[in-house]
Amino acid sequence: MNLPTIIVNFKTYEKASGDAARDLAFKCEKSAKETDKEIGIAVQNADIQRISSKVDIPVFAQHVDPVDFGSNTGSDLAHTIAYNGADGVIINHSEDQMPLDDIKTVIKHCHDEGLETLVCVDEPGLARRVAALEPDMIAFEPPELIGGDTSVTDAEPDLIKETLHNIREKRDVPLLVGAGIKDADDVETARDIGTRGVLIASGVIKADDQRSVLEDLASSL
Ligand code: G3P
Q: Give pLDDT tens digits for 30-70.
A: 999 999 999 999 999 999 999 999 999 999 999 999 999 99
pLDDT of residue 221: 82
Calpha distance 211→138 (Å, rounded): 26
Q: Where are the domains of the chain?
A: 5-218
Q: From the CB of 199, is ligand 1 less than 6 Å away?
A: yes
Q: Give pLDDT tens digits for 2-13.
A: 899 999 999 999
* For range 87-106, the mean pLDDT: 98
Q: Give pLDDT tens digits for 165-218.
A: 999 998 999 999 999 999 999 999 999 999 999 999 999 999 999 999 999 999
CA of 56 to the centre of ligand 1 (A): 23
Which of the following CATH numbers is that of domain 5-218: 3.40.50.720, 3.90.1150.10, 3.40.50.2300, 3.20.20.70? 3.20.20.70
DSSP designation for 121? E
Q: From the CB of 118, is ligand 1 less than 6 Å away?
A: no
Q: Are 137 and 116 spatial neighbours (Cβ–Cβ below 8 Å)? A: yes
Which residues are CB-neighbours of 52 under 8 A, at least 6 positions away? 43, 59, 84, 85, 86, 87
pLDDT of residue 134: 97
Calpha distance 119→140 (Å, rounded): 9
Q: What is the DSSP string of 7-33?
A: EEE-TT-GGGSTHHHHHHHHHHHHHHH
Q: Give pLDDT tens digits for 109-135.
A: 999 999 999 999 999 999 999 999 999
pLDDT of residue 1: 78
Residue 199's closest CA among 129, 149, 139, 144? 139
CA of 176 to the centre of ligand 1 (A): 12
Determine the residue type at 207.
Answer: A
